[in-house]
């Protein structure tokens, strides 16, 4: 099946997809992001460089292996009731690390008030 990849905007074979987290300030529901193999490979390289996992409403298939490679586990029922990837060592340090990650996943959140 050939379709347009949302990563590189080229027509390509779609091998993976995910749904980004809903922007709390947007009324529009999150759209499915389709990715070709090149974009999946680049995504994986980028996340490995960041040393952290993506925060998505619906995970991409590649995230399971990426999490294994980087030592993350899926923790359900987090602060927003969904779930997040966490490193077991960081859970033990308290919830500050987890909150930090959620804030990183939502751009433009103003918490100064
Ligand atoms: Zn692509």
pLDDT tens digits along 73-101: 888 765 666 788 888 765 555 554 444 44
- pLDDT at residue 17, rounded to an integer: 97
Which residues constitute the domain of residue 9?
2-105
Residue 45 counted as domain residue:
yes
HSE, side-chain direction, 13 A CA sphere, residue 11: 2
Mean pLDDT of 3-31: 90
- pLDDT at residue 112, rounded to an integer: 44
What's the number of domains the chain is made of?
1
Is residue 35 within 8 Å of residue 42, measured between CB atoms? no
Distance 5 CA to ligand 1 centre (A): 5
Residue 112 counted as domain residue:
no
Give pTM, 2 decimals.
0.70
Nearest-angstrom CA–CA distance, 105 and 107? 6
Ion ligand 1: residue ranges with CB closer than 5 A: 5, 7-8, 36, 39
Is residue 62 within 8 Å of residue 44, measured between CB atoms? yes
Distance 46 CA to ligand 1 centre (A): 14
Residue 111 counted as domain residue:
no
Residue 80 counted as domain residue:
yes
Distance 109 CA to ligand 1 centre (A): 29
Nearest-angstrom CA–CA distance, 89 and 104? 19
Per-residue pLDDT tens digits for 33-69: 999 999 999 999 999 999 999 988 899 999 999 999 9
Is residue 54 within 8 Å of residue 47, measured between CB atoms? yes
Distance 89 CA to ligand 1 centre (A): 34
Residue 110 counted as domain residue:
no
Distance 85 CA to ligand 1 centre (A): 24
């Amino acid at each position: 099946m050939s379709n347009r990849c949302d990563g590189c905007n080229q027509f390509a074979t779609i091998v993976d997809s995910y749904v980004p987290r809903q922007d709390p300030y947007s009324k529009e529901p999150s759209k499915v992001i389709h990715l070709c193999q090149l974009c999946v490979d680049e995504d994986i390289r980028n996340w490995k460089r960041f040393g952290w996992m993506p925060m998505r409403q619906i995970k991409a298939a590649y995230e399971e292996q990426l999490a294994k490679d980087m030592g993350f586990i899926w923790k359900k029922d987090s602060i927003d009731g969904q779930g997040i990837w966490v490193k077991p060592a960081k859970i033990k340090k308290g919830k500050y690390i987890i909150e930090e990650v959620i804030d990183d996943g939502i751009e433009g959140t103003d918490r100064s008030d």
